[in-house]
C-alpha cells in the first residue's frame, strides 16, 4: 500500500496502524472525519495526558524485561506515543530498550516474540535478496542496522534472537537523533547458529542449522549489500555485533564502496576516545602522553586502539611511537610479538616484550588508562585498581562490556578501591556512587552518544562514505559537550538527558567534515539549522 493510500485509511484501520494511530487523542472532528465514532471511549486526551498514563503503567511493572515487553507493545500500537515517551524520559527508558535490558530480551527473544519487525534474510533467499528487500513497505529507508547475531553484546551467539539489537539501535536513532521511524530498517542475517541450546528449543524462531561460513556466507553478504545499494541507494548501513573476524572483514570490504560503518569497532572507539580526551581535563595528562593498556583484544578493543593511534598521530607522534603507547592483554596475558596465533587486527600492537600477566603488565608498563573490553565480569579486580592508583594520581579505568552483568568491574568497586580518585566510565549504566561524603555520577561510555549523530550527519550531507576524519570530528564534538559541572561530578560524558542536542552537534561536525573530505553530495551555509529542521519530532499527524 502506498503512503498516499495509507493516509486515506479510515475507521478501525487507522487504529491498527501504529504510524497513524492516535488512540484517545483523536479530536471530535477527527472522529467524524475518519469514522471513529463508537470505536473509542468518548473522552479526548492530549499526548501529554497519554504519556502520564503510560508512564504510570510502565512503572508498575516489577521487572525490566516486563517493562521491555510493555514498551515494545506500545511501539507496535502507537509509534508516535512510544517515541514521545522515550524522548521525554530518555534517562529512564534507554536502559530498558537498549543496554542492559536488551541483552536479556535477546536471550529470551523467541519466548517473548509478539509481532515481527524488520526483515529476516537467510541462505534460502540467495538469488532473490533484492526481492526480499523490496518486500519492506517503506521506500525511503535511510538507515539500516544489520547483524548476524553471532556476538550479541557479551552474550555470544544468539542467532536470530539477535534481532533485538537492530530494533533497539534504530529506536535510538529515532529518539536520540531524530531520524524518522519510516526511514529505519532492522535486518537480521540469519545464517544459522552454533548455539545448540537455542537450536534445541522448540520455540526458537531462526534457522535450525549450523552457521553458514566461508565463501557461501561472503556471497550472501555481497548479495545483501548490492541489493541495498539498488533498492535503498542512499541508506547508511551499520554493521552490528558480528564476530571479530567477520566484523573486520566486512568493514574493510565495504567501507570504500558504500556508506557504512561498524559500531562495535568504530562507534565504540569514538565514544571511548572522546571519554579519554575529556578525562585529560581532570587528570592533566595530555593525550600525547597517555599509555593505555587494553584488557581484551577483540573488535572493540582494537577498534579503540586504532582510532587512538590516529588521534596520537595527529598530535604529532609517529605511527610507531603512537602504537608503542597502546598495549593489549588477552586471556593468555600481554600480547607480544612472540604470542601464539596473533590475529591480523592485533598484529600492529604485538610489541617486542617478554610475556607477562595483566597485573605484571600494569606494574611494568605503568599505564595511565586501563580499558576493559573483555565480556568477563570482575577481571578488573581490586589488585588491578590499586596498582593503577599507585601509579596515577587520577587513574582512568573504563569497564566497557555490556550488559551490566559482564562489566569488568562496577563503579562502586572502582571508587572504593581507588579511594575515590578513579576517572571511571562503563558501557552499561551504573547508579551514582557516594564515597567519602561526595556523590559521583559515573559516566556511561554509551555508543548512543556517537552512532545517532554520525548517522544524522551522514544522511544530512548525503555522504557517499564515512571517513576516519568524520569519526574524529564526532569525537572532538562530543568531548567539547562535557561541561565542567559534569567533570566535577565524576562524569566524562554529558548527561543522557541532553542526547538530542549532543547528536545535533555531532551531526553538524560530521557534515562539515564530510564536505572538507569531498564525500558530501549536499551542502549548507548553516548546518545547524538545516539538520535541526530535519529532526523528527514525535507529534501526532493531522
Catalytic residues: 98, 169
Is cis: bond before 403, omega within 30 of 0? yes
Report in angstroms the alpha-carbon separations of 357 from 84, 293, 302, 304, 360. Answer: 49, 12, 19, 21, 5
Cell digits of residue 434: 557516594
DSSP three-state, residue 294: strand
Cα dihedral: 211, 214, 220, 222 (round 10): 140
User: Is residue 485 within a helix (H) or strand (E), and if so which, with residue range?
Assistant: helix 484-488
DSSP three-state, residue 356: coil
Report in angstroms the alpha-carbon separations of 499 from 358, 383, 448, 502. Answer: 36, 35, 8, 5
Least Cα distance to 299 among 333, 324, 263 occurs for 263
In terms of Cβ atoms closer than 10 Å to its own Cβ (0-12, 13-18, 19+), residue 69 is: middle
Cα 292 to Cα 280: distance, rounded to the nearest angstrom = 13
User: Would strands 326-330 and 333-334 be described as parallel, antiparallel, or unpaired?
Assistant: antiparallel
Strands of the 260-262 sheet, one edge to the other: 119-121, 184-189, 143-147, 236-239, 260-262
Least Cα distance to 109 among 170, 191, 241, 198 occurs for 198
Q: Is the CB of residue 95 less than 8 Å from the CB of residue 101?
A: yes
Contacts of 72 (CB under 8 A, 6+ apart): 114
Q: Is the CB of residue 206 less than 8 Å from the CB of residue 192?
A: yes
Cα 44 to Cα 28: distance, rounded to the nearest angstrom = 8
Least Cα distance to 479 among 268, 266, 267, 274 occurs for 274
Least Cα distance to 170 among 72, 268, 254 occurs for 72
User: Is residue 326 within a helix (H) or strand (E), and if so which, with residue range?
Assistant: strand 326-330
Q: Using the 8-state DSSP alphabet, how is residue 416 labeled?
A: H
Contacts of 423 (CB under 8 A, 6+ apart): 279, 282, 283, 394, 395, 396, 397, 490, 492
For cell 568477563, the residue is: 376
Cα 341 to Cα 454: distance, rounded to the nearest angstrom = 35
Amino acid at each position: 500500500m502506498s503512503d498516499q493510500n495509507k493516509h486515506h485509511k479510515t475507521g478501525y484501520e487507522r487504529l491498527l496502524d501504529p504510524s497513524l494511530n492516535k488512540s484517545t487523542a483523536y479530536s471530535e472532528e477527527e472522529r467524524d472525519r475518519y469514522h471513529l465514532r463508537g470505536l473509542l471511549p468518548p473522552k479526548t486526551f492530549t499526548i501529554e495526558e497519554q504519556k502520564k498514563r503510560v508512564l504510570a503503567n510502565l512503572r508498575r511493572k516489577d521487572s525490566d524485561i516486563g517493562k521491555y515487553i510493555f514498551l515494545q507493545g506500545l511501539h507496535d500500537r502507537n509509534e508516535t506515543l512510544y517515541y514521545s515517551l522515550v524522548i521525554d524520559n530518555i534517562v529512564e527508558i534507554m536502559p530498558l530498550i537498549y543496554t542492559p535490558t536488551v541483552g536479556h530480551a535477546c536471550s529470551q527473544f523467541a519466548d517473548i516474540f509478539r509481532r515481527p519487525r524488520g526483515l529476516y534474510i537467510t541462505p534460502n533467499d540467495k538469488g532473490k535478496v533484492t526481492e526480499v528487500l523490496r518486500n519492506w513497505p517503506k521506500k525511503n529507508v535511510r538507515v539500516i542496522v544489520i547483524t548476524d547475531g553471532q556476538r550479541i553484546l557479551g552474550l555470544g551467539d544468539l542467532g536470530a534472537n539477535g534481532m533485538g539489537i537492530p530494533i533497539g539501535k534504530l529506536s535510538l536513532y529515532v529518539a536520540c537523533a531524530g531520524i524518522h521511524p519510516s526511514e529505519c530498517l532492522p535486518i537480521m542475517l540469519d545464517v544459522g547458529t552454533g548455539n545448540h541450546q537455542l537450536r534445541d528449543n522448540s520455540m526458537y524462531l531462526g534457522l535450525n542449522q549450523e552457521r553458514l561460513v566461508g565463501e557461501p556466507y561472503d556471497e550472501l553478504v555481497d548479495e545483501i549489500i548490492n541489493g541495498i545499494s539498488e533498492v535503498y541507494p542512499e541508506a547508511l548501513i551499520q554493521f552490528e555485533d558480528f564476530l571479530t573476524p567477520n566484523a573486520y572483514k566486512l568493514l574493510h570490504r565495504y567501507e570504500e564502496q558504500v556508506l557504512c560503518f561498524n559500531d562495535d569497532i568504530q562507534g565504540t572507539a569514538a565514544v571511548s576516545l572522546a571519554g579519554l580526551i575529556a578525562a585529560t581535563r581532570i587528570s592533566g595528562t595530555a593525550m600525547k602522553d597517555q599509555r593505555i593498556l587494553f584488557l581484551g583484544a577483540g573488535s572493540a578493543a582494537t577498534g579503540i586502539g586504532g582510532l587512538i593511534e590516529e588521534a596520537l598521530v595527529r598530535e604529532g607522534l609517529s605511527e610507531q611511537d603512537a602504537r608503542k603507547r597502546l598495549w593489549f592483554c588477552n586471556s593468555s596475558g600481554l600480547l607480544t610479538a612472540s604470542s601464539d596465533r596473533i590475529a591480523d587486527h592485533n598484529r600492529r600492537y604485538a610489541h617486542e616484550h617478554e610475556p607477562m600477566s595483566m597485573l605484571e603488565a600494569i606494574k611494568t608498563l605503568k599505564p595511565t588508562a586501563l580499558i576493559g573490553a573483555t565480556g568477563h565480569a570482575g577481571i578488573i579486580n581490586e589488585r588491578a585498581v590499586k596498582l593503577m592508583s599507585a601509579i596515577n594520581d587520577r587513574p582512568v579505568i573504563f569497564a566497557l562490556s555490556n550488559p551490566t552483568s559482564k562489566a569488568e568491574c562496577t563503579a562502586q568497586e572502582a571508587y572504593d578501591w581507588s579511594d575515590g580518585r578513579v576517572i571511571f566510565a562503563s558501557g552499561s549504566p551504573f547508579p551514582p556512587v557516594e564515597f567519602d561524603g561526595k556523590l559521583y555520577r559515573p559516566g556511561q561510555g554509551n555508543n548512543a552518544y556517537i552512532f545517532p549523530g554520525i548517522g544524522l550527519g551522514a544522511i544530512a550531507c548525503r555522504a557517499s562514505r564515512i571517513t576516519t576524519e568524520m569519526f574524529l570530528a564526532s569525537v572532538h564534538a562530543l568531548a567539547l559537550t562535557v561541561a565542567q559541572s559534569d567533570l566535577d561530578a565524576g562524569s566524562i560524558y554529558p548527561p543522557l538527558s541532553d542526547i538530542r542536542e549532543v547528536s545535533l552537534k555531532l551531526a553538524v561536525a560530521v557534515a562539515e567534515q564530510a564536505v572538507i573530505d569531498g564525500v558530501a553530495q549536499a551542502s549548507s551555509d548553516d548546518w545547524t539549522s538545516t539538520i535541526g529542521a530535519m529532526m523528527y519530532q514525535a507529534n501526532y499527524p493531522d
